[in-house]
Amino acid sequence: MAEVERDLATGVQTTGHEWDGIKELNNPLPRWWLLVLYACIVYGLGYTIFYPAWPSLTNYTKGILGYNSHADYYTDAADAADAKKQFTDRIAAMSVAEIAGDPQLLEFSLAGGKAVFNENCAQCHGVGGQGQKGYPVLADDNWLWGGQLADIEQTVRHGIRSEDPDARQSQMPRFGADGIIDAAAIGDVADYVVSLSGGEVDAAAKERGATVFAEQCVACHGENAAGNKDLGAPSLTNNIWQFTGDRTAFVAQITSPKHGVMPAWQGRLSDDLVKMVTVYVHSLGGGQ
Ligand code: HEC
Ligand code: HEC
């Protein structure tokens, strides 16, 4: 080995590297720096002993503390479920009116009810309950069967013309198909219905139609055609139509009526979810 060269001014060994007469000295690393480096190595080794660290082909070293981030996640998730259960237990024990009167439960129910609605109801009633042809708007104040909390709950639990024995039931007669009134009378009463929401019709036809209406239709649609919520018979005066709002559609409805069918949700949704979606629908803007 060649003899070590020392720097004349400081007496420190050189590394033997030289650039244009400037030589690199071989000073030792500062002590503090070395201590930090050793501390890091000790910490790093210690970590791999205590915590999961080294991969093998099929598994990994588990570490002697038995720490597991999945287990952590499951404990957190269980805590969250516990917190949620405190709400759902109270909801299950309360009436919809009580739930709506409790600000905390109301907030929880509106959020949960919205999720239930989007998943189960929106395909028919539209997102936010805006409705579509054949499926009523739930976000207005026009109700077929009633917009009080209890009405909505009844509708949601048992459905409308569904298989449920407590379903809401009613049937508009097939005036034309069953020969209850003739085609002329159907045309006249259709004209009368058009006139109820401000449409222009022949005055004589309207007159005759009013008579047919009084004889055949008021029993369900009401004296002033304002509707009857016990029968789900809609108002015919507000120009809101579940089906189509023109004369041809009225003639078709009077001849051989269409009826909306809404499934029952009791049994399909748990009791707390039924109540939550009821409170949500009630809040959509039309709740009475
Ligand atoms: C398969 C389609 C369908 C689904 C899904 C559905 N509905 Fe309905 N719903 C209807 C129809 C059709 C009517 C109107 C029935 C009638 O003509 O009387 C209705 C009526 C209603 C009414 C009564 C409206 C009124 O004016 O009185 C409420 C409240 C209601 N639905 C809520 C819900 C909720 C909440 C859900 C989800 C849990 C839901 N619906 C899911 C078809 C559906
Ligand atoms: C036994 C009760 C009953 C009688 C009587 C009855 N209706 Fe109806 N009518 C209903 C019901 C219930 C509906 C709603 C059907 C549905 O939404 O599923 C309805 C719906 C309608 C609609 C459709 C409304 C819409 O929003 O699209 C028209 C129009 C109508 N009826 C006109 C008449 C006329 C005209 C008569 C008399 C000739 C009459 N109805 C007699 C029960 C009745």
Instruction: Say how far residue 258 (Cα) sits from the centre of its chain.
Output: 29
| pLDDT tens by residue, the chain, 288 residues | 556 788 888 888 888 888 998 889 988 899 999 999 999 999 999 999 999 999 989 999 989 998 988 889 999 999 999 988 999 999 999 999 999 999 999 999 999 999 999 999 999 999 999 999 999 999 999 999 999 999 999 999 999 999 999 999 999 999 999 999 999 999 999 999 999 999 999 999 999 999 999 999 999 999 999 999 999 999 999 999 999 999 999 999 999 999 999 999 999 999 999 999 999 999 997 656
CA angle 144, 146, 147 (to 5 degrees): 115
Ligand 2, residue 219: give the atom nearest the CA.
Answer: 5
Can you give the pLDDT at residue 7? 85
- Using an 8 Å Cβ cutoff, are 190 and 254 in contact? yes
Whole-angstrom Cα distance, residue 71 to residue 62? 13
What pLDDT, in 10s, does the model give residues 42-57?
A: 999 999 999 999 998 9
Is the CB–ligand 1 distance for residue 260 below 6 Å?
A: yes
Whole-angstrom Cα distance, residue 226 to residue 247? 19
Ligand 2, residue 249: give the atom nearest the CA.
Answer: 29
Q: Which ligand is nearest to the CA of 172?
A: 2
Which of 110, 124, 168, 258 should be mutated for ligand 1, with most atoms under 8 A from CB?
Answer: 124
Residue 21: CB partners within 8 Å, gap ≥ 6?
none
Ligand 1 centre distance from Cα of residue 262 (Å): 5
Is the CB–ligand 1 distance for residue 144 below 6 Å?
A: yes
Half-sphere exposure of 283 (CA within 13 A, CB side): 22
| Residue closest by Cα to atom 39 of ligand 2 | 217
The torsion of the CA quartet 266, 270, 271, 274, rounded to 10 degrees, works out to -70
Percent of the chain exceeding pLDDT 90 equals 82
- Using an 8 Å Cβ cutoff, are 160 and 170 in contact? no
Q: Which ligand is nearest to the CA of 188?
A: 2
